[in-house]
Amino acid sequence: MATVHFPGESAEYRAARDELLRSEMALRREIENVARQRRELPVGGTVKEDYAFEDMDDGTVRLSELFQPGRDSLVVYSYMFGPAAKSPCTSCTSIIDALDGEAPHIEQRVNLVVVAKSPPSRIREVARDRGWRNVRLLSSANNAYNTDYFAEDEKGSQMPMLNVFARRDGGVYHTYGTELLYAAKEPGMDGRHVDMIWPLWNMFDYTPDGRGTTWAPKLKY
């Protein structure tokens, strides 16, 4: 099974590693299978309205205007940072730390924005403190996007939802949302609905200590 052998490894290690390798190959196949199922989803519903968001220059941009020429997919990540929150969600912030670095690469093919319910002034302050320079930040303070697309519950709590929209024949349609966030909980499993865009936990998964049970990212260390 093995194609490589590391210095000093025992036969016990190699046997266990080969078993793991088979599992990793099966996981790779299943990840690709799930990605294919996403790609093959039929187009979802027409967007409820052409939402007007506030940008960081205090201007207004509509959802339909977020599609750049030649890029017909739009990914919207909802940042848990509402107007009543004293500080933004630490987990969401760690995700956006990574997305900010990747945004120039992502935007070669896909439109990407991060939306928060707080007003632009508060979002600008966080972006300045974090040193974010690339990811496009928008405010949904004055529209119903969050509630319509499950980034806010009936009590006004913010939810870390990721939604994907597509431009087709002059219209804008919803194509995918991370509904795993709302799926039935399984023992020993956290939500993991946006793990694919969150390198932090994936890095820990490579280590013997794993994700742990108590550690969480912070805004400052």
Write the CA distances from 9 to 5, 6, 21, 24, 209, integer angstroms.
Answer: 7, 6, 15, 19, 20
Do the strands 111-116 and 73-79 form a parallel or antiparallel pair, or are they unpaired?
Answer: parallel
Q: Is residue 38 domain-shared with residue 59, that is, in the same domain?
A: no
What was the pLDDT predicted at 56?
Answer: 96
> What pLDDT, in 10s, does the model give residues 101-136?
999 999 999 999 999 999 999 999 999 999 999 999
Nearest to 135, CA basis, from 126, 143, 147, 144: 126
What was the pLDDT predicted at 164?
Answer: 98
Residue 67 CB contacts under 8 Å (≥ 6 apart), including other chains: 74, 111, 167, 172
**Assigned domain for 199 exists:** no
Q: Is residue 25 domain-shared with residue 125, that is, in the same domain?
A: no
What was the pLDDT predicted at 2?
Answer: 72
Q: Is residue 160 domain-shared with residue 64, that is, in the same domain?
A: yes
What was the pLDDT predicted at 64?
Answer: 98
Quote the domain boundaries for residue 25.
14-43
Q: Is residue 56 domain-shared with residue 100, that is, in the same domain?
A: yes
Element (H, E) at 114: strand 111-116
Q: Is residue 18 domain-shared with residue 100, that is, in the same domain?
A: no
What was the pLDDT predicted at 213?
Answer: 86
25 C-beta neighbours (distance < 10 Å), count? 11
Give yes or no for a contact between 93 and 217, defined as CB atoms under 8 angstroms apart. yes
**What is the pLDDT tens value at each position of the chain, 221 positions in all?**
877 999 999 999 999 999 999 999 999 999 999 999 999 999 999 999 999 999 999 899 999 999 999 999 999 999 999 999 999 999 999 999 999 999 999 999 999 999 999 999 999 999 999 999 999 999 999 999 999 999 999 999 999 999 999 999 999 999 999 999 999 988 878 788 999 999 999 999 999 999 988 899 999 99
Instruction: Identify the CATH number of the domain in which residue 61 sits.
Output: 3.40.30.10
Q: Is residue 23 domain-shared with residue 108, that is, in the same domain?
A: no
Q: How many domains does the chain have?
A: 2
**Assigned domain for 91 exists:** yes
**Assigned domain for 6 exists:** no
Predicted TM-score (pTM) of the model is 0.94
Give yes or no for a contact between 51 and 145, defined as CB atoms under 8 angstroms apart. yes
**Assigned domain for 167 exists:** yes
* DSSP 8-state secondary structure symbol assigned to residue 68: P
What was the pLDDT predicted at 88?
Answer: 98
Q: Is residue 99 domain-shared with residue 169, that is, in the same domain?
A: yes
**Assigned domain for 214 exists:** no
Backbone angles phi, psi at 168, to 5 degrees: -140, 120
Q: Is residue 166 domain-shared with residue 80, that is, in the same domain?
A: yes
**Assigned domain for 88 exists:** yes
Nearest to 31, CA basis, from 151, 187, 192: 192
Q: Is residue 35 domain-shared with residue 136, that is, in the same domain?
A: no
**Assigned domain for 142 exists:** yes
**Assigned domain for 140 exists:** yes
Q: Is residue 26 domain-shared with residue 74, that is, in the same domain?
A: no
Q: Is residue 107 domain-shared with residue 18, that is, in the same domain?
A: no
72 C-beta neighbours (distance < 10 Å), count? 14
What was the pLDDT predicted at 17?
Answer: 96
Q: Is residue 23 domain-shared with residue 107, that is, in the same domain?
A: no
